[in-house]
Chain A
Amino acid sequence: GAVVSQHPSRVICKSGTSVKIECRSLDFQATTMFWYRQFPKQSLMLMATSNEGSKATYEQGVEKDKFLINHASLTLSTLTVTSAHPEDSSFYICSAQGALNTGELFFGEGSRLTVL
């Protein structure tokens, strides 16, 4: 199956700093990428939809200025958590959808963010 890579897999940062997480589609071009957030023992919650070359679409309740998303190329989307706080500590997962959509999404391995 298609491969989606996320980096870093784990990151620990101090409160107030910004953290960037990368999501790459390794063997296909992803016209659309999605960013999810998952708290322990909770389901994945969609944060935003990222389309190559255009602004991301955020879900209700997700702060645009807090979670900056950039989808500069067909293989890379980044999520930057700005001025991180302990409550931002979570598991962030991206998924990618190819141009020839079959309805299937391919997920990255996830990035665990811990804000001290």
Chain B
Amino acid sequence: QKEVEQDPGPLSVPEGAIVSLNCTYSNSAFQYFMWYRQYSRKGPELLMYTYSSGNKEDGRFTAQVDKSSKYISLFIRDSQPSDSATYLCAMSLSSNTGKLIFGQGTTLQVKP
């Protein structure tokens, strides 16, 4: 069993739709949770960074962490074609480590 599971998709939605991306994990010691966006042939860029359980909102993006269920989500409201990319969840045990464990990534396509 992988430490972090993420449905690779692809996920195709019409422009303006609400997108829900999810990851599950097995290690209850993870404390820090991140979502990265990666365009084709590019490095990942950080979208959201959360600590422990709860919600965090930034513009059209909302990240949710449910540690009791070992489940994290990223919601994208009013999705745009420019949101088309691969979204990677990542998590770590502590804040002072760059040893991130990544999910496989979900490929999202937003159609105009």
Contacts and interface: CB of A to CB of B under 8 A. Distances in A.
Interface of A: prevailing SS: strand
A35 to B, nearest CB: 10
Contact of A43 (B41, B92, B99, B105): B105
Given A43-B104, A95-B98, A102-B95, A110 B42 contact: yes
A110 B95 CA distance: 24
The 8 closest A-B pairs by CB, nearest first: A103-B95, A107-B43, A43-B102, A34-B98, A44-B102, A43-B104, A110-B43, A109-B43
Interface string A87-116: 000010101010001111111111010000
Contacts of B36: 107
Interface of A: 1, 4, 6, 32, 34, 41-46, 49, 91, 93, 95, 97, 101-110, 112
Interface size class of B (residues with CB under 8 A): 20 to 34
A57 B51 CA distance: 26
